[in-house]
Structure formats: structure tokens, C-alpha cells
């Protein structure tokens, strides 16, 4: 029926319902160095584990730094990495037209070409001397990030999958709860695989938690400044309490969400809502995504 197709298309859009495929380092070695850095000052990407993971709040928190230019050209999200497969298909089509070019290019060169082009496009609107702050609530094709954006910085933002699933079904009631759990699990597996390969990095990369940004925003900012070479003395810490709430599923009725800024209520708490779940929901999440929750150190076991 027409209305069901509409819902399916909306779900596909929100959750990028294309398969989450991890291919290890395939293509990275051959494409490494193929694309030069598009800006002299590396951009900072906030990649959230999935929608409802807190990228909006963390973006508002970091954009207070005067050396950052947030969301150039008012592109509030930059879902280019999710199109990695399309960029590679374009490269294959390009090489089919003139096969003699095949041995002249690396296997993933188009990823770097597309990424560099986008960064140049955004840099043209960025004031001189400022670094771009970019966000997207997705980790699809995360393993291609160093290929598409060589030399750029990555803040990989995770959030407790129980709260993500809770917020997801509250925001979009048409999303089935088990579906939300599966999407978080697959995204968490992408994050874990990427972090295992990059956890040695102490600069230019950070696996951060939304809960830390909410619970200790000053500490979160200080660590971000250290990881991404921002002058912490220039950050206006006194302005943190003035950050207003955007996009929260807790301040609107079920099925409603607004991006208009709202004053933070005195009792506002964006974490821990899963504690009031029914036994069915708890058991369902444990069965589908319990191991991924443990892998990201949100719990030691499933005795909750």
C-alpha cells in the first residue's frame, strides 16, 4: 500500500537502511595519499553512532570555540561518507570508459577526490584562520573515513544503545523497537572495528561518549581541545550553561521533535530512560544488542 511504502522510504532515509558492511582496510592502502588535504587547517568531524546519539548537543558545545566555524554553508549534516559505495561505482564506470586509466589510479582514489572536492566547497565559505566543524549522525562506511578525508580529525561519538533505542521509537513511533536495537548493534560493531584499528591514536581521533558531554561538559571540552589541537584558553566555558536544547525527544510528545532551541528544564535528563523499560524491552535489547553494549563498555554483563 502507498502509505506503507512511504514509511519504508522514510525509515530508509533516517537509518540509511543500506547494509553496514565492514571490509577491513580494503582499499585504504592503495588510496592512501591519493587525495591531498583540502584545507591547511584540518576539519573536525563529529560522526555519531546513529541518529539520536547526541551530535546536535556536542556540536553546539564545540562550536562555542572561537577558532571553529560550525556547519559551513549551513549544511547541518554532511552525509557524504555514506555514499562511498556510489563513489566507488563511479570510479569503476570511469575506468570502463577508458580502461587504460586503470593502472594509473589507486583502487579507491575517487573517495579522496570526492572528499577533497567537498572540503574545498565548504572551505570557500569558512572565514580565514578558522577550522571547519562538521557533523553527521552516522558511521556507515566509517572504515573509509581516512581515505575520503585524509588528514582530517574525527570525533567518533557513541551513546548508550538503550537510550538511543528509547529515543528512536519515541521520536519515530513507526519504527519497531527490535529494528532500532538492530540498527544500533550494527553501528556499534562498525565503531568497535574502527576503534580497534585506531585506538593507538591520541591526537586527531577520539572515541567519545555523549554521556560524558552531558555529565561533565567542561571536562569534555578540555579533552576535545587536547585531542584536536584547540587552544583551551580561548574557550568561553562560562557560556556552556546557555546552550539550549535542540531536537530532544524528551521535551515533545511522542512522535514529535523540533529543532527550535528550547530552554533546558531544571529536571532535564537525557540519559537513563531505559531504566523504566518493561521486561520485554530489556530482554529484547539484551538478545539483539547486549554483546555490543558490553563491547563499548556500557556495562560489564547483562545483569541489568
pLDDT grade, residue 279 (50/70/90)? Answer: very high
pLDDT grade, residue 107 (50/70/90)? Answer: very high
pLDDT grade, residue 248 (50/70/90)? Answer: low
Model confidence over 78-105: pLDDT tens digits?
999 999 999 999 999 999 999 999 999 9
Residue 85, CA distances (Å) to 25, 93, 154, 218 in order? 15, 12, 20, 38
Map out the domains of the chain with their CATH numbers: 2-161+196-243 (3.40.50)
What share of residues in the chain are helix, strand, coil (percent, to 5)?
A: 50, 10, 40
What pLDDT, on the 0 to 100 scale, is given for residue 266? Answer: 59
pLDDT grade, residue 28 (50/70/90)? Answer: very low
C-alpha–C-alpha distance, residues 218 and 227, integer Å: 14
Total-model pTM: 0.83
Q: Where are the beta strands (DSSP E) in 14-67?
A: 44-48
C-alpha–C-alpha distance, residues 143 and 198, integer Å: 10
Give strand pairing partners of 154: 45, 205
Which segment of 54-63, 72-81, 172-181, 264-273 scores lowest on mean pLDDT? 264-273
Amino acid at each position: 500500500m502507498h502509505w506503507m511504502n512511504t514509511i519504508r522510504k522514510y525509515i530508509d532515509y533516517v537509518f540509511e537502511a543500506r547494509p553496514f558492511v565492514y571490509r577491513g582496510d580494503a582499499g585504504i592502502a592503495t588510496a592512501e595519499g591519493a587525495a591531498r588535504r583540502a584545507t591547511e587547517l584540518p576539519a573536525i568531524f563529529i560522526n555519531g553512532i546513529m541518529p539520536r546519539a547526541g551530535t546536535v548537543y556536542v556540536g553546539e558545545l564545540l562550536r562555542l570555540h572561537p577558532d571553529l566555524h560550525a556547519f559551513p554553508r549551513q549544511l547541518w549534516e554532511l552525509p557524504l561518507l555514506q555514499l562511498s559505495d556510489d563513489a566507488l561505482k563511479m570510479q569503476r564506470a570511469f575506468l570502463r570508459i577508458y580502461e587504460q586509466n586503470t593502472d594509473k589510479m589507486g583502487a579507491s582514489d575517487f573517495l579522496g577526490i570526492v572528499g577533497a572536492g567537498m572540503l574545498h566547497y565548504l572551505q570557500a565559505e569558512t572565514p580565514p584562520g578558522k577550522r571547519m566543524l562538521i557533523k553527521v549522525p552516522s558511521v556507515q562506511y566509517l572504515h573509509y573515513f581516512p581515505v575520503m578525508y585524509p588528514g582530517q580529525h574525527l570525533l567518533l561519538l557513541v551513546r548508550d544503545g538503550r537510550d538511543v533505542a528509547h529515543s528512536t521509537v519515541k521520536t519515530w513511533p513507526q519504527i519497531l523497537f527490535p529494528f532500532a536495537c538492530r540498527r544500533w548493534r550494527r553501528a556499534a560493531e562498525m565503531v568497535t572495528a574502527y576503534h580497534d584499528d585506531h585506538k593507538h591514536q591520541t591526537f586527531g581521533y577520539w572515541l567519545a561518549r555523549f554521556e560524558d558531554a552531558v555529565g561533565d561538559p567542561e571536562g569534555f571540552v578540555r579533552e576535545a581541545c587536547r585531542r584536536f589541537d584547540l587552544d583551551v584558553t580561548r574557550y568561553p566555558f562560562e557560556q556552556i550553561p546557555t546552550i539550549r536544547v535542540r531536537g530532544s525527544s524528551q521535551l515533545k510528545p511522542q512522535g514529535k521533535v523540533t529543532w527550535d532551541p528550547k530552554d533546558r528544564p531544571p529536571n532535564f535528563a537525557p540519559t537513563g530512560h531505559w531504566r523504566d523499560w518493561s521486561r520485554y524491552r530489556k530482554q529484547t535489547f539484551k538478545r539483539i544488542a547486549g554483546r555490543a553494549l558490553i563491547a563499548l563498555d556500557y556495562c560489564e554483563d547483562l545483569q541489568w
